[in-house]
Structure 1
């Protein structure tokens, strides 16, 4: 009887209203900062990839796709901040709500897919050097990137069936079999999309680091760069994706037990970590710099002031990058289009 009472009480709560307005006003300002920093950063990165650095010729198609995914995220931030400022966890308009969810989770899926693909590529280049690298073959065909986006669509659609953001899933009310299966599938997609890639990432990182330890000093340059690539991806995962996955697991557990008071606290933590996950649009450019020194050189030579340009171009950041200098001007190994 008491269980039924708790269920009905829990179902009567509007879980799309913010439990603490102050928390969500702070989160809204954080998203404004992310937008103000992320929009010019990602626009400048897009400019470099398209106009200064021919990504389609420099085998950087996967990097370019991450930029596109980040840009999709950045354009959603103002609407998300607006809702938080008005004490709503999501838009009350069904179309806007589903569009936002679709864009946000498509970005997440694409970022994870292409970041992991880059890590696997580095793994094969280092650990299985000399063997056929299927990822390197895939990088040469733009159609593969299109296929990855298309494969992400069926994994993104379940987030729009019911209100994912307010977590109105198991434990909310008496569910039909269809809703139960849909909600379960949606949660499975959410967690496996993060956990499985992270396991792959840890495996690649450990193998590359072990390979680095076995190499002689003269052979370490390429390996050191590979370690920096996978470690930068680990940082993105650890800051942006893992915390919100753990928080969501806790949130689902609390909701299934109908602990409403605890839920009001946990939901704020979860939403805060989701906002933190949007930082990937600011952290991903670090991955681009580690992955491709040509991109780094193109970006620095285009946007950095003259007094910093020479210093940054002649610095290898401890990666052992081979540089050739002539009359204090660095010779860039990968092609950069002149202005």
Structure 2
């Protein structure tokens, strides 16, 4: 007649909430804490009080998520396609940075192509008619894109750091493009291994007589998901983030030194401006997309695994987390902007194209 701590917590959370698609119908605020109280008579001998079943208020998802995902889809699809086309035209003379950027654009494009399903899902009150496997695949695409983008940005940052702070060191130049392709292969493999458990945790279920697609995990796997979710954040975000920040702090320190103390290769303002632009743009991508999402996700995982957390607290952290999740997808069109700002020749070609279009319009108006 004894229960382990893990069994007790697992049982409580199986009854208390779901992780993604909670009922979205409005409810009276005075019923918030005690909606649908479940009788736990089989555990009353342990002195446990009845546990309230939390009903999350997630009406905001029906407007926020479809709007943001539609915006990301409209911008991300043509921008990433354009980046892939421009880089692919240069083969087989691709630089290492271009190889990393190409793989980054492919990851973003694959994710953007899955957004119409999510737009329909959230616009239809969490209704998911596309089947179990498609649900798992879409969730896998989200997290693999997210962590793949961070790892490819890390590769680009390290490559830039070595070129600026160690321009005369030869070891990182050996292997050239072949080494860069191998690194990309390793990144794809690492991302696949990190995100593979998503196929186990993400699944469809029934909420108020409609099929839903859970994001993090099904309710019964909530406790088991916690260590995996924290490990994914640590390996897929914290370590790349620390690596990028270390590179950029060292680069900023190097670039801010007086010119006589810099190496000759960094004496030109063009290289310096290019490096500064990259630091600013990548830092912006992290601040907008990655940092808020992982911070709120970590707090949400902590709160929902604490059995004594009130329903109001769980609902609050759920809203905050799910409000930042669509903004994590914004990296799908911010990454092409990163490519644009760090490639002067593409800015010049775009400028010439815009001038050409403007001149054609002016001629047509004069006629």
TM norm. shorter chain > 0.5: yes
Structure-2 separation of matches of 1:130 and 1:256: 51
| Paired position in structure 2 for 1:162 | 201
Partner secondary structure for residue 214 of structure 1: coil
Structure 1 counterpart of 2:153, from 115, 130, 134: 115
Structure-1 separation of matches of 2:176 and 2:100: 10
| Paired position in structure 2 for 1:153 | 192
Pair 1:292-2:331 in alignment: no
Relative to structure 1, is the Cα distance of residues 133 and 87 closer, same or farther in structure 2, using a 3 angstrom cutoff?
farther
| Paired position in structure 2 for 1:274 | 325
Quote the RMSD (CA, aligned, Å). Answer: 3.1
After the TM superposition, which residues 82-231 of structure 1 pair with which residues of structure 2 at under 5 Å, given as runs?
A: 82-88=120-126, 93-134=131-172, 137=175, 139-141=177-179, 142-163=181-202, 166-168=215-217, 180=224, 183-216=226-259, 218-231=267-280
Structure-1 separation of matches of 2:76 and 2:299: 30
Q: TM-score, normalised by structure 2?
A: 0.72
| Paired position in structure 2 for 1:11 | 15
Structure-2 separation of matches of 1:201 and 1:271: 26
Give the superposition deviation at 1:210.
1.1
**Which is higher, the Rg of structure 1 or of structure 2?**
2
Structure 2 counterpart of 1:35, from 70, 73, 91: 73
| Paired position in structure 1 for 2:285 | 236
Pair 1:306-2:356 in alignment: yes
Relative to structure 1, is the Cα distance of residues 5 and 161 closer, same or farther in structure 2, using a 3 angstrom cutoff?
closer
Single out whichever of 123-132 and 224-233 deviates more from structure 2.
224-233
Pair 1:61-2:99 in alignment: yes
Give the superposition deviation at 1:77.
1.2
Give the superposition deviation at 1:108.
1.4
Structure-1 separation of matches of 2:144 and 2:281: 21
Structure-2 separation of matches of 1:37 and 1:261: 36
Relative to structure 1, is the Cα distance of residues 12 and 211 closer, same or farther in structure 2, using a 3 angstrom cutoff?
closer
Partner secondary structure for residue 297 of structure 1: helix
Report if aligned partners of 1:62, 1:145 keep a CA contact under 8 Å in 2: yes
Partner secondary structure for residue 21 of structure 1: coil
Structure-1 separation of matches of 2:129 and 2:226: 20
- Count residues with an aligned counterpart: 299
Report if aligned partners of 2:70, 2:119 keep a CA contact under 8 Å in 1: yes
| Paired position in structure 2 for 1:315 | none
Gaps of 5+ in 2: 25-56, 204-213, 261-266, 360-367
Partner secondary structure for residue 282 of structure 1: helix
| Paired position in structure 2 for 1:333 | none
Give the superposition deviation at 1:205.
1.2
